[in-house]
Amino acid sequence: MEYRAIDPATGTPAARAYAADDEAALERKLQRAAAAVPAWRQTTFEARAALLRRAAETLDARRADSARLMAEEMGKPVAQGLAESDKCAWVCRYYADHGAAHLAPEAIATDASTSFVRCDPLGVVLAVMPWNFPFWQVFRFAAPALMAGNVGLLKHASNVPGCAVAIEEVFRAAGLPEGCFQALLIGGARAERLVGDPRIAAATLTGSEPAGMAVAAAAGRALKKVVLELGGSDPFVVFEDADVERAAEVAVTARMINSGQSCIAAKRFLLHSSIAEPFARRMVERVRALRVGDPLDPATEVGPLAREDLLAELNQQVAESLAEGARCLIGGGRLDRPGFFYAPTVLDGVFPGLPVADEETFGPVAALLTFDSDDEAVELANGTPFGLGASLWTGDRARGQRLAEAIEAGSVFINGMVKSDPRLPFGGVKRSGFGRELGREGIREFVNVKTVWVG
């Protein structure tokens, strides 16, 4: 068996194929990972930090190649791929600079002569990662996990095999010891079974709800720690006192980034009825000006969807919503050209019960809903099984902070678009998963928080 990406811009197979790991190859990688644990956990924070900084330097040197690979395997516009590579270098440097402090022993006064809490690595962590941010999703796991003294195994999405291999090569070039980070070219079912292997200490998954439930169930049977970052249907709430012009500008970026294929992209735009019409007008103007095209063109803002089945699913969600009463202001269908291109779309007159309101839409489709009061806005924002992020727009920051308390989400951004930042914890509630990545909380997910008591 082999893995070969399909170029989303053309629909044709990539030139290079990657051999899948058979059972013997997988066993060798597991053995190398387990063998690497004792020495790696004993390395100093200073030594690990130096290697992470070298990984950042390697990313800097290879950023153009990485961006091109992302464009060819999953259709990311190359300009966005360059930014993604830069962000990966940032997270490596962040944990090189701050990881030791995040994990420093903490003295606590008790009846002991000395008592403190220390953080020890767990061992081998299996990461099951998605295709939509094929470098960033991996590095936001790998940088803190490696800095904490864990060993990483990456099971990447099958449509980005080159990205998986390239990431392993970054860490190898940076000088990580053998076995400390390896890519596994295996399918999802084998990865699920792998969670139960006694050499695997914990698992993390970013992806779909079904994949998350499968890995969580496997981890539960084996009594192992798991972190899940799943889907999202983030609300972008614009109140009557907001800067409507600015909110509409940011809204287009928040929805169309990565061709709309982002868990934390704004998907439902909740607009106070008094400003709904000017907001929609400005949003449509900006969407009409977007440059859709070849992801290898630096001027492209919206590329193709990553796979044809994703395009078909999105098209069905839009078609059903239009049939049930939504109105299409712009876009609304597949573009007549080779590849998996979907027209940037704005749907008005959306209400709960429509697919674009109730389901996650993974593509360049914005759904506009209206409200008349703060309570109604909060009810609409929370009226989803997801709880990843939310964006609130108001001229009264105190009002924004008050309403943020009522929003059921892992992140609430006031007068800004939701984004992940190495300095801040990231994750969701409800069906968007559990656990946190990034920040102090993220590096502490895969450690043993150990109490030491001295009489």
How many CA atoms are closer than 13 Å to the CA of 351, on its beta-carbon side?
Answer: 5
* CA distance linking residue 186 with residue 168, whole number of Å: 15
For the question of residue 263 being annotated catalytic, the response is: yes
User: Of 84, 263, 301, 445, which residue is the catalytic one?
Assistant: 263
Crossing angle between the packed helical segments 161-174 and 45-74, to the nearest 10 degrees: 150
Q: What six digits make up the tokens of 334?
A: 């597949």
The candidate with the shortest Cα–Cα distance to 244, out of 276, 213, 289, 212, is 276
Question: Taking a C-beta distance cutoff of 8 angstroms, is the pair 247, 237 a contact?
Answer: no
SS3 call for 261: coil
25 CB contacts (<8 Å, ≥6 apart)? none
SS3 call for 353: coil
Q: Taking the mean position of all CA atoms in its chain, how far away is CA 347? A: 25
Sign of CA dihedral 304, 309, 410, 211: negative
Question: Taking a C-beta distance cutoff of 8 angstroms, is the pair 227, 250 a contact?
Answer: no
Question: Taking a C-beta distance cutoff of 8 angstroms, is the pair 88, 135 a contact?
Answer: yes
Strands 447-454 and 114-121: antiparallel
- Ramachandran quadrant class, 425 (left: phi over 0; alpha: psi -120 to 50; beta: rest): beta
User: Of 73, 84, 229, 301, which residue is the catalytic one?
Assistant: 229
* CA distance linking residue 68 with residue 58, whole number of Å: 16
Question: Taking a C-beta distance cutoff of 8 angstroms, is the pair 45, 68 a contact?
Answer: no
Question: Taking a C-beta distance cutoff of 8 angstroms, is the pair 69, 120 a contact?
Answer: no
- Positions annotated as catalytic residues are 229, 263
